[in-house]
Amino acid sequence: MPRSGFIALMGRPNVGKSTILNRLVGEKIAIVSDKPQTTRNRILGVRTGEDSQMIFVDTPGIHRPGHLLNKRMMEEVYDSIRGVDLLIQVVDVSQRYGKGEEYVLSLVQKIRKPTILVFNKMDLISKGKVLPMMDFYSQQFEYGEIIPISATQGDNVEVLEEKILEYLPTGEWFYPAEYITDQPELFIVSEIVREKVLHHSRQELPYSTAVLVEEFDDSKRKKGFVRITASIIVDKDNHKKIVIGRAGHMIKTIGTEARLDLQTFLGVPKVYLDLNVRVISGWRDQEHLLDELGVRSRLYTQKEIGYRSEEIGSRSQENRS
């Protein structure tokens, strides 16, 4: 019998969830950077084998929400983990255990779904530090597996994939074999541009930047040409100066790198990319703009979010009994 199921990747910001997703799916469908809160939307990635289909749900990093944008990001997390068959809790082993990791652990304890604990970034620490961490986490929750990996190097990712398959229920596939992600083409286009902004930015800029695709003309796609106009949205005037750079050097670099990736993604030899920088003060708290950017509009207060995490745990317990 074939196996098919949904697997949620969850953890603090910048623990490597998107890198793991790209590795497991075998395609780059989620942008990657060393900046926290890179992932803002729930991203679905599908890996179909001969007798299995793994449907991964990459969620934004779990953090305390401040702006409306962050509250929507956290709602993505809580909605995503409700109906999955398996959780993968990702921990960055190069970082100390703190309140952020404690909060993620508390969610796992409340949800009480089958969970694989992944120690990521093993290439950054000595192996002697792993056993004490395994012992600590084993005392906090009954994990199905604890697997150390390096997503960037690809170390032990195949073992993780094999263990995931063991936890999937038997059943027919949910998506066609060629299906890779649920994200629309325009979303990935905007994310590719934002990834380049993240790679070349610093300080608070990554948190206050978004990309809005304003024109996508693929009428000449069969001839190998696509025209894109996009705006990089920033919160302050000095951020605009940073993105543009001295004599326009920064935005030129962002555009050049993004254009090369877009040509690969769209499968065309030439992409004309026109980038603008717009200052929209307080955009992270503007509902209409967040809607246009594709970030969820269904909102909950911090108190309601706490209730929903409790609710998730109680429903999971009911399902298990």
Which pair of structure tokens corresponds to residue 113?
A: 């779904």
Least confident of 11-15, 39-43, 176-180: 39-43
- Domain residue extents for the chain: 3-180, 185-285
pLDDT exceeds 60 at position 305: no
**Sign of the C-alpha dihedral, residues 100, 105, 108, 114?**
positive
When pLDDT is cut at 50, 70 and 90, the band that residue 315 belongs to is very low
Q: Which own/partner contact pairs does 265-271 have at CB distance under 8 Å and 24+ positions apart? A: 265/188, 265/189, 265/192, 266/185, 266/189, 266/218, 266/221, 266/226, 268/221, 268/224, 268/225, 268/226, 269/224, 270/224, 270/225, 270/226, 271/225, 271/226, 271/227, 271/228
* Domain pair 3-180 / 185-285, same fold: no
- At residue 88, the 3 state secondary structure works out as strand
Query: Which pLDDT tens digit goes with each residue over 205-255?
Result: 656 788 889 999 999 999 999 999 999 988 888 889 889 999 999 999 999
What's domain 185-285's architecture? 2-Layer Sandwich (3.30)
Class of the CATH domain delimited by 3-180? alpha beta
Cross-strand bridge partners of residue 278: 233
**Amino acid identity, position 49:** G
